[in-house]
């Protein structure tokens, strides 16, 4: 049995969070309130970004992943250059996995739909 690496743990955590968000996104106003309480200000910025027509899917995916990581690891990391590299690597790792990429794309589409 192979040991679980830090990347595997992070991908697992992100998958869980994405699944939770996709479930709460479809559960009506109560689910949206719960999501907003978890990340005060964070999801509102991602939703505002989703409302802008010129933003491409990659930027929106990155913003969403960054928000999830900041929730888990703390806001002080947000302005760290190394943290931004980690965000890019996580987005690339998710994009490389077909199932995770499909889930993230679906979530981005739901964000755009709810923002529009």
- Domain range list for the chain: 6-115
Spatial separation of the C-alpha atoms in residues 96 and 36, rounded to whole Å: 29
Residue with tokens 């996580």: 90
Query: Residue 81's CB: how many other CB atoms inside 10 A?
Result: 7
Spatial separation of the C-alpha atoms in residues 79 and 76, rounded to whole Å: 7
Residues of the chain scoring pLDDT < 70? 1-11, 15, 18-19, 21-41
Does pTM top 0.75 for this prediction?
Answer: no
- Alpha-helix runs per DSSP H in 1-116: 6-25, 29-38, 42-51, 57-73, 81-96, 98-115
Q: Quote the pLDDT of residue 22.
A: 61
């Amino acid at each position: 049995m192979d040991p679980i690496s830090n990347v595997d743990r992070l991908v697992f955590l992100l998958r869980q969070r994405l699944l939770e968000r996709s479930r709460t996104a479809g559960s009506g106003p109560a689910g949206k309130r719960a999501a907003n309480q978890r990340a005060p200000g964070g999801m509102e910025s991602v939703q505002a970004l989703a409302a802008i027509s010129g933003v491409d899917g990659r930027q929106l995916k990155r913003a969403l992943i960054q928000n999830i990581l900041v929730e888990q690891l703390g806001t002080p990391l947000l302005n760290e250059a190394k943290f931004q590299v980690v965000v890019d690597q996580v987005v690339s790792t998710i994009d490389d996995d077909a199932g995770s990429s499909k889930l993230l794309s679906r979530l981005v589409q739901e964000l755009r739909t709810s923002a529009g």
